[in-house]
Chain A
Amino acid sequence: MTSELNRRRFLLQAGTGISTAWIAANWPSVLSAATHAHQAAKSTVPPKLEFFTPEQAVEIEAISARVIPTDETPGAHEAGVVYFIDRALLTFASDAQPIYNIGFPTLQGRVNELFPAIGKFSSATPDQQDQVLHSFAPAAGMKPRAFGALPPEPDFFEIVRQHTIIGFLIDPDTRGDSHGYGWKLIGREREHMFQSPFGFYDKDYPGWQPLPKATETK
């Protein structure tokens, strides 16, 4: 919000993402949550949970680990995303507390319904976990929105998904996971000063060559 947060960025993000308007409206206190995750990832001592019970944290961590799984590269688990979400629910995402509060029994209900023998979501196999998560509303496919279109009301899994992504990709050098797993995954270098050439296509650019004359294309 721009842009936008800013001008075009607001527009673009409002159009392409969760909506920057949402992010802008909900960033307040993300700082605090991210710092918490940052410290959690750096520390060898398990950080204190402030919103979740230990049992709930296990379930959230299990969900976030399906959102950004650990494979050959680290995922949400290694990035300590659950601690980010825990703090987020006391700060910028406090409005989402009811969604989580209702979500836990809903999650349990889905598990009981689909896999009665398992007990907890976190005890299920990854395939079973995915089946449970797919049972939530049509969440989580990429559906580009028009400029300024409002995001739909998120359900429990959708909000956990969003919070997981935010916690995973926040700037690692200031607020996010200090290992920088998220930025490493997407190929975003951590430096903040660059010189051209920047990428593959501009590395052999010969310099600006004017065309002989204008081409009328109207």
Chain B
Amino acid sequence: MTPDQPKFKTSEEVDFCIIGSGAAGGILAKELSANGFRVVVLEQGAYLTEADFTHDEIKVLNEDLLTNHPKLQPNTFRKTPQDKATPQRALVYGRMVGGTSVHFTANFWRFHEIDFIERSKVGAIPGTNFADWPIKYADLEPYYTKVEWEIGVSGLAGASPFDPPRSKPYPMPPLPVKSSGVIFERAARKLGWNPFPAPMAILSQQYKGRSACVNCGFCLGFGCEVGAKSTSLSTAIRMAEKTGRCEIRPNAYVHRIETNASGRVTGAVYFDEKRNAHLQKAKAVIVCANGAETPRLLLLSANKQFPNGLANSSGFVGKNLMLNSSAVSVGVFDQPLNDYKGFAVSRVLHDFYELDSQKVGFYGGGGLDARFDITPISFALGGLPPGTPGWGKDFKSALSHNFTRTMEIFSHGTSLPVEDNSFSLDPDLKDAWGLPALRMTYKDHPDDLKLANWLNQRALELLDAAGVQQKWTLPITEQQFAVHLLGTCRLGNDPKSSVVNADHRAHDVRNLFLCDGSSLVTSGRGQPTMTIEALAFRAADRITALAKRGDLNP
């Protein structure tokens, strides 16, 4: 923690209380404090820094330094509302200052123009709440650029013919190509496709006092010890602290947003490390707690005035959950790739970003990337080809041969917003604080599974074109585990079918704002963090404008 931070009293009404310090919360904290407002950020996790990070996977995982702990915060899962939910680890998110951005892959695609207007182009899809966004790509473009330059993104503008328009190039060149990237690039070109260097929120060169990536290989799942990963922690949070108007308060587990008789929020109630409850007063509250915890907090904040949960007159709080469809095909090659070295992804392609639904028979689109991100233990327990013995001489021999020769083609695609797919409060299970646990309800829309299969066929074609020695696909089945937590408090102009307006302001509560993965109206084609951060920069501008013209005053 830097010494620049002010220490606000809980009784002092600050301008903004931001709940969550991840991809969106960090940027809002930075922007609003830089704009002159007094800001308190309440983060449920600990304040760790680069000095606390380690390559010791046991220590990281043993102590659950970075993620939600299933024993402290258990959850339940069911496929449909008709099913009884049972305890099951169903989601993961970063639980520390910096949130999920600390341990993410750092794939940083922009959404394309189609993502914002696809409902108009494709039409209604039965069984879904498929909708256009209240903003368009052009509204967000300046903020995508701002993310790239302020946070630090490596990439090559113009390398993908499918890229949306941009006002500036990337601030630094792409990261070096890996063997998986070379294999991917050559095979894709053989097939007439258009691979390009992956845009990554990892520094390829020194930038704003931060180190370039050292290719340690402990990227995905770990905090970056050299600060090369462009996380909220390494960028926006530090900038917010330097304003002298922002306090980052870790170990503050918010469980209720208070409202007054006028229906305005007055602050956030949280448990501190010793589980004492406090109310932090604020003129306005911005919830950036992620697509699971944001709706949970609104539902936990139900009262007589808001019996179905805060800001939930639409009934859409927690609904329309989208996870992004995914598929993985694995290939083993003749020579060592040594892809355990370095960041996860060096080449991507977007040729299938927008499929013709009339031609393929389903809605959707996506991208493929080349990667290898499995650690040794997990590789040994499940990364070998199907049918390989799980023990004995042949097992040992396969481990020895395959670990350095394996890569994956990861397919990332759309998810449709289905109303039943949701986060809600479990009626029975409680967390370690006695609060209702998250209950996830999820069943992929059939088109999502068709898309995953279709993209995966392209991945297999690519592996064949690459001269793969052996290939296989992980079974593509209905998802029961969530990483991307999207759409659960979505943006929209109609208060009946959305939770927040285009300014991220709750339709029902004038001084309550929501901004994180829950804001997304459609899922994009994976890699949502870039868009979440662009939305946060834009939201900060909108909220600043509202505050400066007195629109947030009682």
Interface residues of A (CB under 8 A from B): 1-18, 20-21, 23-25, 27-31, 34, 66-69, 71, 73, 75, 92, 130, 133, 139-150, 161-162, 164-166, 168-171, 174-175, 182-183, 185-189, 192-202, 205, 208, 210-211, 213-215, 217-218
- Name 6 A/B residue pairs within 8 A (Cβ), A-sorted: A4-B92, A142-B382, A147-B477, A189-B341, A199-B179, A202-B179
| Chain B residue contacts of A5, Cβ below 8 A | 60-61, 66-67, 92, 103, 221
Q: Annotate B300-335 by CB proximity to A: 1 below 8 A, 0 otherwise.
A: 000000000000000000000000001010100101
* A187 B104 Cβ-Cβ under 8 A: no
* B377 A23 Cβ-Cβ under 8 A: yes
Q: Does B457 contact A (CB under 8 A)?
A: no
* A24 B89 Cβ-Cβ under 8 A: yes
Q: Does B118 contact A (CB under 8 A)?
A: no
Q: Does B263 contact A (CB under 8 A)?
A: no
A93 to B193, CA, bound (A): 48
- Distance of A99 from chain B, by nearest CB (Å): 17
* A143 B386 Cβ-Cβ under 8 A: yes
* A29 B62 Cβ-Cβ under 8 A: yes
- Distance of A65 from chain B, by nearest CB (Å): 10
Nearest residue, chain B, Cβ from A157 = B391
Contacts A183-B376, A200-B336, A201-B183 given: A171-B386 contact, CB under 8 Å?
no
* B328 A15 Cβ-Cβ under 8 A: yes
* A214 B162 Cβ-Cβ under 8 A: yes
Query: Which chain B residues in 343-370 approach chain A with CB under 8 Å?
Result: 344, 351-352, 354-356, 359
- Distance of B547 from chain A, by nearest CB (Å): 33
A142 to B179, CA, bound (A): 25
A8 to B408, CA, bound (A): 12
| Chain A residue contacts of B92, Cβ below 8 A | 1-7, 10, 24
* B374 A202 Cβ-Cβ under 8 A: no
Q: Give the residue of A175, A182, A213 whose beta carbon is less than 8 angstroms from that of B376.
A: A182
Q: Give the residue of A7, A145, A169, A201 whose beta carbon is less than 8 angstroms from that of B221.
A: A7
Given contacts A5-B103, A217-B194, 18 further A-B contacts (CB under 8 A): A4-B103, A4-B221, A6-B221, A8-B105, A12-B378, A15-B328, A27-B62, A31-B62, A66-B391, A67-B395, A139-B390, A142-B390, A144-B330, A169-B376, A186-B400, A192-B214, A198-B215, A198-B337
- Distance of A83 from chain B, by nearest CB (Å): 15
- Distance of B384 from chain A, by nearest CB (Å): 5
Q: Does B7 contact A (CB under 8 A)?
A: no
Q: Does B483 contact A (CB under 8 A)?
A: yes
Q: Give the residue of B89, B159, B216 whose beta carbon is less than 8 angstroms from that of A193.
A: B216
Top 4 A-B pairs ranked by shortest CB distance? A6-B221, A148-B481, A214-B161, A17-B382
- Distance of A189 from chain B, by nearest CB (Å): 8
Q: Does B249 contact A (CB under 8 A)?
A: no
| Chain B residue contacts of A133, Cβ below 8 A | 391
- Distance of B2 from chain A, by nearest CB (Å): 26
- Distance of B554 from chain A, by nearest CB (Å): 41
Q: Does B380 contact A (CB under 8 A)?
A: yes
Q: Give the residue of B156, B161, B326, B344 whose beta carbon is less than 8 angstroms from that of A147.
A: B326
Number of A-B contacts (CB under 8 A): 331
Q: Does B189 contact A (CB under 8 A)?
A: yes
Q: Does B218 contact A (CB under 8 A)?
A: yes
* B57 A171 Cβ-Cβ under 8 A: yes
Q: Does B393 contact A (CB under 8 A)?
A: yes
| Chain A residue contacts of B378, Cβ below 8 A | 12-13, 16-18, 20, 23
Contacts A188-B376, A210-B159 given: A6-B66 contact, CB under 8 Å?
yes
Q: Does B88 contact A (CB under 8 A)?
A: yes
| Chain B residue contacts of A186, Cβ below 8 A | 376, 379-380, 399-400, 403-404
**Which stretch (B41-49, B468-476, B490-498, B503-511) binds chain A?**
B468-476
Contacts A31-B58, A144-B472 given: A198-B179 contact, CB under 8 Å?
yes
Nearest residue, chain A, Cβ from B354 = A218
| Chain B residue contacts of A168, Cβ below 8 A | 380
Query: Which chain B residues in 474-525 approach chain A with CB under 8 Å?
Result: 474-477, 479-481, 483
Q: Does B465 contact A (CB under 8 A)?
A: no
Q: Does B100 contact A (CB under 8 A)?
A: yes
Nearest residue, chain B, Cβ from A182 = B376
Contacts A7-B483, A183-B376 given: A175-B56 contact, CB under 8 Å?
yes
* B176 A196 Cβ-Cβ under 8 A: yes
* A11 B214 Cβ-Cβ under 8 A: no
* A28 B392 Cβ-Cβ under 8 A: no
Q: Does B55 contact A (CB under 8 A)?
A: yes
- Distance of A96 from chain B, by nearest CB (Å): 15
Q: Does B128 contact A (CB under 8 A)?
A: no
Contacts A16-B382, A20-B378, A205-B182 given: A196-B342 contact, CB under 8 Å?
yes
Contacts A147-B474, A194-B342, A218-B356 given: A28-B374 contact, CB under 8 Å?
no
| Chain B residue contacts of A210, Cβ below 8 A | 158-159
Q: Does B293 contact A (CB under 8 A)?
A: no
Nearest residue, chain A, Cβ from B345 = A8
Q: Give the residue of B183, B342, B483 whose beta carbon is less than 8 angstroms from that of A3.
A: B483
| Chain A residue contacts of B256, Cβ below 8 A | none
Contacts A7-B103, A144-B472, A194-B341 given: A25-B89 contact, CB under 8 Å?
yes
Q: Does B123 contact A (CB under 8 A)?
A: no
Q: Does B373 contact A (CB under 8 A)?
A: yes
* B61 A170 Cβ-Cβ under 8 A: no
* A208 B70 Cβ-Cβ under 8 A: no
Q: Does B199 contact A (CB under 8 A)?
A: no
* B386 A142 Cβ-Cβ under 8 A: yes
Q: Give the residue of B88, B182, B333, B403 whose beta carbon is less than 8 angstroms from that of A187.
A: B403
* A8 B344 Cβ-Cβ under 8 A: yes
| Chain A residue contacts of B275, Cβ below 8 A | none
Contacts A18-B378, A27-B58 given: A9-B221 contact, CB under 8 Å?
yes
* A68 B390 Cβ-Cβ under 8 A: no
| Chain A residue contacts of B103, Cβ below 8 A | 4-7
* A202 B56 Cβ-Cβ under 8 A: no
Q: Residue among B215, B380, B383, B475 with the most chain A CB within 10 A?
A: B380
| Chain B residue contacts of A213, Cβ below 8 A | 161
Q: Does B220 contact A (CB under 8 A)?
A: yes
* A75 B396 Cβ-Cβ under 8 A: yes
Q: Does B339 contact A (CB under 8 A)?
A: yes
Contacts A9-B374, A147-B481, A199-B338 given: A2-B221 contact, CB under 8 Å?
yes
